[in-house]
Structure 1
Amino acid sequence: LIDRVTRLTYKHFDTPSLVEWVFVLSQQPEQEAKDLALDMELYVEGSLDIFSHRTNIKTDSHFLIYNVKKLGDELKQIALMVIFDQIWNRVVKNQKLGKKTWIYFDEMQLLLLDKYASDFFFKLWSRVRKYGAIPTGITQNVETLLLDANGRRIIANSEFMILLKQAKSDREELVHMLGLSKELEKYLVNPEKGAGLIKAGSTVVPFKNKIPQHTKLFDIMSTDPEKMRI
């Protein structure tokens, strides 16, 4: 049924949206089609119709930001699926053009809270590198990654990492996973701001990159609410 409706939709509409797809679905003779179309009403005409229409964003821009912060739980899963699909399509397109794609996932632990999103995210993370993309994950909550099977695989398969101060339980797990020595572990116990460890392949070195206050770089990069300038 789903396959038939999709084929018919693309046969009759050049650039169909979810609205056209549900319309074609509602015209099918099966009762299951009528029931599914009714279930989809909330996402097509109701209060959760945010993804049912054509985008008004210029998706071929060189710099794109996807923000799901204000989305409720009802829409977050489908939002992540749409975003991951958009990212994948852009990576494939850029690869054909001989371009690299840099992808940054801030608060990446939130992408692992839902199992379906977690599986999709791991597949995306694993595949894009083969297509000339460079995915970077950013998190202040390593525990969530360590508790998720996909999160652990992402950490284990990442060639480059920057590690800052870690809580005791997280630190011990990372030391075990990455094979860090006791001497290197000390740099994750209570380092000063801007200091920690850099892991590049099998090489791990301590680093210190303190940015002086009252500089433009500090104003741009600081996330300390007490020191941020508006």
Structure 2
Amino acid sequence: QQMGVGRLTGSHKSIIDRCTANVYQTYFSSRGKAPMPLLTDWRNEVIRQVDPEAREIALAAELITEGSLNVFAHPGNVNMDSRIVVLDLYEMGEQLRPTALVVTLEAIQNRVMENRKRGKYTWVFLDEVYLYFKYHYSGEFLYRAWKRFRKYAAPMTAATQNIEECLKSETARLMLANSEFLLLFNQAATDRAELAKLLHISDTQMGYITNAEAGHGLLRIGGSLVPFSNTIPKDTELYRLMSTTPGEG
């Protein structure tokens, strides 16, 4: 069970909303000159509430504010204005990973908004995108970004080898069906059947991603389907630079 999913009542949401507004009041009134509030400040504000539900929220939040999962409850030491920002989630535990993915998407969204103000485009690339659909909040956040970012001059591109994992998520299925550009490579039989039904692709057309060699596949652009062959000779410098096969390059 992911943290908070299916457990928040209307009363809980009202208290959370009230406390969030309260802890940010000083920060906003100072126009960002006051210290940014922390999760510990927010929990202390929850504790001050008289509502009985506030005790439940404070107890649930203890783990991520005072307890062993309080990694996001401290002041940040990373300059988020740097041109290159690396957020390494490799060793993030399973309990914190859903929160970490949302934090990452939030950081990307902030950069997109800043670039928009400066009149710059932002290209957003998400590899192993299936990971985001394993968790409720990161999947929903990504779905909203998928729909909104194009309005903010930020086209998004997602890649995954685990299409089966994505097809288990209704959110991911909606994103696939509503995407204008899809690049499909060789697929397993079960995935081909699901993709054909979802994307309205005929058996003949699906043949281009059945036992397909590397560099061969199917492009779906709007309502058009185009088979392609794009192999690169292995004895070239371009292949050496682009190969992701272990031991090559």
Coarse TM-score class (shorter-chain normalised)? 0.7 to 0.9
TM-score w.r.t. the length of structure 2 is 0.79
Shift of the 12–98 alpha-carbon distance from structure 1 to 2, 3 Å rule, reads: closer
Q: Does 1:8 align with 2:22?
A: yes
Aligned-partner residue type, residue 125 of structure 1 = W
Matched with 1:102 is: 123
Matched with 1:193 is: 214
Which segments of 5 or more consecutive residues in structure 2 lack a partner in the other structure?
1-14, 28-33
Q: Does 1:117 align with 2:131?
A: no
What secondary structure, in the 3-state scheme, does the structure 2 residue paired with 1:133 have?
coil
Distance 1:38 1:115 in 2: 22
Q: Does 1:142 align with 2:156?
A: no
Matched with 2:228 is: 207
**62, 67, 74: which one aligns with 1:46:** 67
Q: How far does residue 35 in structure 1 lie from its aligned partner after superposition?
A: 5.2
Distance 1:20 1:7 in 2: 12
Q: How far does residue 185 in structure 1 lie from its aligned partner after superposition?
A: 2.1
Stretch deviating more after TM superposition (130-139 or 9-18): 9-18
Stretch deviating more after TM superposition (56-65 or 185-194): 56-65
Distance 2:20 2:195 in 1: 46
Q: How far does residue 65 in structure 1 lie from its aligned partner after superposition?
A: 4.4
Q: Does 1:156 align with 2:177?
A: yes
Distance 1:3 1:11 in 2: 12
Distance 1:45 1:147 in 2: 35
TM-score w.r.t. the length of structure 1 is 0.85
1:105-153 Cα deviation digits (max 9, x unpaired): 1111121122333222212211112221111111112122222211111
Q: Does 1:74 align with 2:88?
A: no
**184, 200, 220: which one aligns with 2:205:** 184
What secondary structure, in the 3-state scheme, does the structure 2 residue paired with 1:40 have?
helix
Distance 1:190 1:148 in 2: 25
**143, 146, 149: which one aligns with 1:128:** 149
Distance 1:84 1:222 in 2: 28
What secondary structure, in the 3-state scheme, does the structure 2 residue paired with 1:204 have?
strand
Distance 2:96 2:241 in 1: 32
Stretch deviating more after TM superposition (162-171 or 5-14): 5-14
Q: Does 1:169 align with 2:190?
A: yes
Shift of the 185–39 alpha-carbon distance from structure 1 to 2, 3 Å rule, reads: closer
Distance 1:178 1:91 in 2: 29
Percentage identity across paired residues of the two chains: 39
Q: How far does residue 24 in structure 1 lie from its aligned partner after superposition?
A: 3.4
Matched with 2:82 is: 61
Which segments of 5 or more consecutive residues in structure 1 lack a partner in the other structure?
none
Q: How far does residue 63 in structure 1 lie from its aligned partner after superposition?
A: 4.0
Distance 1:200 1:61 in 2: 35
What secondary structure, in the 3-state scheme, does the structure 2 residue paired with 1:161 have?
strand
Shift of the 190–98 alpha-carbon distance from structure 1 to 2, 3 Å rule, reads: same
Q: How far does residue 34 in structure 1 lie from its aligned partner after superposition?
A: 5.1
